[in-house]
Chains A and B, each alone.
Chain A
Amino acid sequence: MKNIVIIGGGVAGMEAARQLLALGYTPIIVEKANALGGHVASWYRLFPDMTPASEIISRLKKEIAPANVFTGTKVISISREKGDYSLTLDNGVSILAGAVLFATGFKVFDASKKEEYGYGVYDRVITNRDLEAWLSGGEDKRISAPKAIGFVHCVGSRDLKAGNSQCSKVCCTTAIKQAIEMKEKFPKAEIYCFYMDLRLFGKKYEDFYINAQRDFGVHFIRGRVSEVGETIDGRLQVKAEDTLSGKPLKVQVDNLVLMSGMVCNQSVSELVRQARLDIDDDGFLRSRNNIFDILESNRPGIFYAGACTGTKTVPETLAEARAAALEIHNYLQNG
């Protein structure tokens, strides 16, 4: 039986492995980090049902135990060899694979690139990721009994100047989730979500929004934050336009949470070049077709799953991973 290599051990790679195991294969996962789980492993809870992320990860880990997993390992070369692909890992292992799945995911946008928001300059400006780590029980001196918290949607998303024109899809709902979580912890805090438009497209997301409005009194302000400054007591002065009333608006908050978006994972660009894969305008891997062949690359035997082709939610990623496993199975069966 031919080998199947899955590059990336996040939820996409793990779910694809789970399905391939069920189909009777023994896939090989190569993950550059020292543990499986990818971005989801660093998250606390997932919208819209507040599912603990750790539940998803530990379930997947358990179910893919029979797979071959290399963590802390990178693929350093890939080349076509007759009908197969020859891969070399940085631990010296070489693999001849009949099919390769890119489950290489995304990178979180570096919020410090939006200089005007002061991430990395003003102490109490944090990111969605920082807040998630704190919610998971991490220490963070920047968060201390806040009286007001701001959430800035679309940080590095829908932002041509920041080099990313795409919507990151998850941030609106994540902001609402985190706003509710903060309101649960600090019921007296005023919470402001600064949005351009709210993109609550998924199942139960709109309910989540109504919930945040009605039951938690989260304030939604339509206007993108333009500038942040630090006051004498270390609070943050936030400026935006209240576009609904057409007036400039300012407010002071104790923490400003930047909803850093998803950008393409450029650390795989060398592999992509070697495998001669097409890149889309947005830097993500280009599917053969964005409707019918999302999981197929321009090269036979190389498949995609999850956020390597564009921004996706966790359930979308899992669905793609399952489908990719089936595509690989069909490919290996039929040649």
Chain B
Amino acid sequence: MIYEGKQKIWSDYQKEIPDDHWYYVRSCIRQNFFPASERMFTEITRGVLGKDVYETPYHTTCGGIAYHCDTIPQETVMTIVARQFALMTEAGYENYVASCITSFGNYSETLETWREFPELETKIRENLWKACRREFKKPKYLAHSSDLIYHWREEIAKKGRFRLVNRETGEPLRIVEHIGCHYAKMFPHKGVGGAEYPYVLAGMVESWGGQVVDYPERRHCCGYGFRQYHVKANRGYSVSNTHKKFESMEPFHPDAIITNCPGCPYFLDRWQYVIAEQTGKTYGRDGFGIPVFTYEEIAGLVLGYDPWDLGLQLHQVAVEPFLDKIGIEYDPKAKYLGLNREDIMRPGLPDSIKCF
């Protein structure tokens, strides 16, 4: 691997990311899958870094899941997107940041569609006006929330309590970075570092002390693939894609996987249990899986937040071996206690993959 070669490509895909005043929209599903991630984003940006990040309860789904499942036409999606832009305009913002990669892709795709077919933009403006009497300006800057954490990665490192380093050996931890397909594959110039060698997560890993693992199936989809997962008859395709990635990364013995998409960490995490059940194989050491994190969770760990406040007890794959490597303290007994310190019940533990 020639690091300078990647640097050269990264320099071709720089993205302007304003330093403040963002209109933030959440994902439909992330709060269920990784309940602290979006809270962590607002905590870091507002609390730790003191940025102006605005949210409105009137925000809805962007329609991305329905669009990619072929249940609503693009015109409907674009009208929903137009409404989100109207909410941003009404709130007085022009920098739009989406927590979801599907949404980010959806917004990018909509803006590009309007650029290529201006008559559609006119039509969508009419649709929106007829539907809810709203008008909008297009965002001046569109970002994914991982772009912002990437933008502030050095400040987070400076304020951090931990580094992605093996406490015992002093070696950097080996991290696989997995980028959601709709982040840059459609429009490589909209992503930090482009689509072949994206830098958005790699930059975080490097700034926080880890080492990025590049493996042959790095660019491959996590397997979610909307219709592949949501239609049960197709679900085998979903898990097979995930399986392909794990088979490819296995020889590199990664310590963890960092992701920036709602679906990817979910499927890379949960499918490890299904694969273990179906094949008897696990990909971490000693019967464990490879823990999978969102970038907000990793940022939270670096900043010293309690792992259970970060919602890591909701992961399928045990995160404890990873915490132990870094030396992050946690109370095993508190893993399944709620915010009110009462028991939130324990999941059944599988035999096929080691979990706590």
Q: In the complex, is A directly touching B at CB under 8 Å?
A: yes
Residues of A bordering B, CB below 8 Å = 112, 115-116, 118-123, 227, 229-232, 237
B333 at the interface (CB under 8 A from A): no
A237, B197: Cβ atoms closer than 8 Å: no
Q: How far is the CA of A237 from the CA of B220 in the complex (A)?
A: 13
Q: List 23 A-B contacts (CB under 8 A).
A: A112-B8, A115-B194, A115-B196, A118-B5, A119-B5, A120-B4, A120-B8, A121-B1, A121-B6, A121-B9, A122-B2, A227-B219, A229-B214, A229-B216, A229-B217, A229-B218, A229-B219, A230-B214, A230-B215, A231-B216, A231-B251, A232-B215, A232-B251
A230, B9: Cβ atoms closer than 8 Å: no
Q: Which of A112, A116, A120, A230 contacts B216 (CB 8 A)?
A: A230
B252 at the interface (CB under 8 A from A): yes
Query: Which residues of the partner chain A approach B6 to less than 8 Å between Cβ atoms?
Result: 121
Min CB distance A157 to B, Å, is 20
Query: Which residues of the partner chain A approach B251 to less than 8 Å between Cβ atoms?
Result: 231-232
Query: Which residues of the partner chain B approach A237 to less than 8 Å between Cβ atoms?
Result: 216
Query: Which residues of the partner chain A approach B2 to less than 8 Å between Cβ atoms?
Result: 120-123
Q: Which of B4, B9, B194, B215 contacts A229 (CB 8 A)?
A: B215
Those 9 A-B pairs whose CB atoms lie nearest each other, nearest first: A229-B216, A120-B5, A121-B5, A237-B216, A115-B196, A232-B251, A116-B196, A121-B6, A121-B2
A115-B194, A232-B252 given as contacts; is B1 within 8 A of A122 (CB)? yes
Query: Which residues of the partner chain B approach A123 to less than 8 Å between Cβ atoms?
Result: 1-2
Min CB distance B156 to A, Å, is 27
Q: How far is the CA of A232 from the CA of B8 in the complex (A)?
A: 23
Q: How far is the CA of A229 from the CA of B216 in the complex (A)?
A: 4
Q: How far is the CA of A122 from the CA of B1 in the complex (A)?
A: 5
Q: How far is the CA of A232 from the CA of B217 in the complex (A)?
A: 12
Min CB distance A247 to B, Å, is 15
How many B residues have CB within 8 A of the partner chain?
Answer: 19
Min CB distance B149 to A, Å, is 24
Q: B interface, by DSSP: helix, strand, loop or mixed? A: loop
B197, A121: Cβ atoms closer than 8 Å: yes
A229-B217, A230-B214, A231-B216 given as contacts; is B196 within 8 A of A112 (CB)? no
Map CB proximity to A onto B235-252 as digits: 1 under 8 Å, 0 otherwise: 000000000000010011
Q: How far is the CA of A48 from the CA of B70 in the complex (A)?
A: 54
A115, B214: Cβ atoms closer than 8 Å: no
Min CB distance A126 to B, Å, is 12
Q: How far is the CA of A116 from the CA of B218 in the complex (A)?
A: 12
Q: How far is the CA of A200 from the CA of B218 in the complex (A)?
A: 36
Query: Which residues of the partner chain B approach A230 to less than 8 Å between Cβ atoms?
Result: 1, 214-216
Central interface residue in B9, B216, B219, by most chain A CB within 10 Å: B216
Query: Which residues of the partner chain B approach A227 to less than 8 Å between Cβ atoms?
Result: 219
Query: Which residues of the partner chain B approach A229 to less than 8 Å between Cβ atoms?
Result: 214-219, 248
Map CB proximity to A onto B164-186 as digits: 1 under 8 Å, 0 otherwise: 00000000000000000000000
Q: Which of B5, B194, B218, B252 contacts A112 (CB 8 A)?
A: B5
Query: Which residues of the partner chain A approach B252 to less than 8 Å between Cβ atoms?
Result: 232
Q: How far is the CA of A237 from the CA of B1 in the complex (A)?
A: 13
B218, A115: Cβ atoms closer than 8 Å: no
Query: Which residues of the partner chain B approach A121 to less than 8 Å between Cβ atoms?
Result: 1-2, 5-6, 9, 197
Q: How far is the CA of A120 from the CA of B252 in the complex (A)?
A: 22
Map CB proximity to A onto B209-228 as digits: 1 under 8 Å, 0 otherwise: 00000111111000000000
Q: How far is the CA of A115 from the CA of B219 in the complex (A)?
A: 12
Question: Which B residue sits closest to A252, measured CB to CB?
Answer: B216
Question: Which A residue sits closest to B3, measured CB to CB?
Answer: A121
Query: Which residues of the partner chain B approach A120 to less than 8 Å between Cβ atoms?
Result: 2, 4-5, 8
Query: Which residues of the partner chain A approach B197 to less than 8 Å between Cβ atoms?
Result: 115, 121
Q: Give residues 180-216 of B contacting A (CB, 8 Å).
A: 194, 196-197, 214-216
Central interface residue in A121, A123, A229, by most chain B CB within 10 Å: A121
Q: How far is the CA of A118 from the CA of B219 in the complex (A)?
A: 13
Min CB distance B349 to A, Å, is 32
Q: How far is the CA of A121 from the CA of B196 in the complex (A)?
A: 11
Map CB proximity to A onto B251-262 as digits: 1 under 8 Å, 0 otherwise: 110000000000
Min CB distance A299 to B, Å, is 37
Question: Which A residue sits closest to B213, measured CB to CB?
Answer: A232
Q: How far is the CA of A65 from the CA of B40 in the complex (A)?
A: 76
Question: Which A residue sits closest to B250, measured CB to CB?
Answer: A232
Query: Which residues of the partner chain B approach A115 to less than 8 Å between Cβ atoms?
Result: 9, 194, 196-197
Q: Give residues 1-32 of B contacting A (CB, 8 Å).
A: 1-2, 4-6, 8-9
Min CB distance A227 to B, Å, is 7
Q: How far is the CA of A330 from the CA of B159 in the complex (A)?
A: 79
Question: Which B residue sits closest to A229, measured CB to CB?
Answer: B216
Q: How far is the CA of A120 from the CA of B6 in the complex (A)?
A: 8
Query: Which residues of the partner chain B approach A118 to less than 8 Å between Cβ atoms?
Result: 5
Q: How far is the CA of A141 from the CA of B8 in the complex (A)?
A: 22
Question: Which B residue sits closest to A231, measured CB to CB?
Answer: B216
Query: Which residues of the partner chain A approach B214 to less than 8 Å between Cβ atoms?
Result: 229-230
Q: How far is the CA of A122 from the CA of B216 in the complex (A)?
A: 11
Min CB distance A204 to B, Å, is 38
Q: How far is the CA of A115 from the CA of B8 in the complex (A)?
A: 11
Question: Which B residue sits closest to A250, measured CB to CB?
Answer: B216
Q: How far is the CA of A123 from the CA of B9 in the complex (A)?
A: 15
Query: Which residues of the partner chain B approach A116 to less than 8 Å between Cβ atoms?
Result: 196
Question: Which B residue sits closest to A237, measured CB to CB?
Answer: B216
Query: Which residues of the partner chain B approach A112 to less than 8 Å between Cβ atoms?
Result: 5, 8-9
Min CB distance B241 to A, Å, is 13
Min CB distance A316 to B, Å, is 35
Query: Which residues of the partner chain A approach B215 to less than 8 Å between Cβ atoms?
Result: 229-232
Query: Which residues of the partner chain B approach A231 to less than 8 Å between Cβ atoms?
Result: 215-216, 251
Q: How far is the CA of A256 from the CA of B5 in the complex (A)?
A: 17
Min CB distance A71 to B, Å, is 31
Min CB distance B220 to A, Å, is 9
Question: Which A residue sits closest to B188, measured CB to CB?
Answer: A115
Q: How far is the CA of A121 from the CA of B193 in the complex (A)?
A: 14
Query: Which residues of the partner chain A approach B8 to less than 8 Å between Cβ atoms?
Result: 112, 120
Central interface residue in A119, A227, A231, A232, by most chain B CB within 10 Å: A232
Question: Which A residue sits closest to B252, measured CB to CB?
Answer: A232
Question: Which B residue sits closest to A232, measured CB to CB?
Answer: B251
Q: How far is the CA of A290 from the CA of B2 in the complex (A)?
A: 44
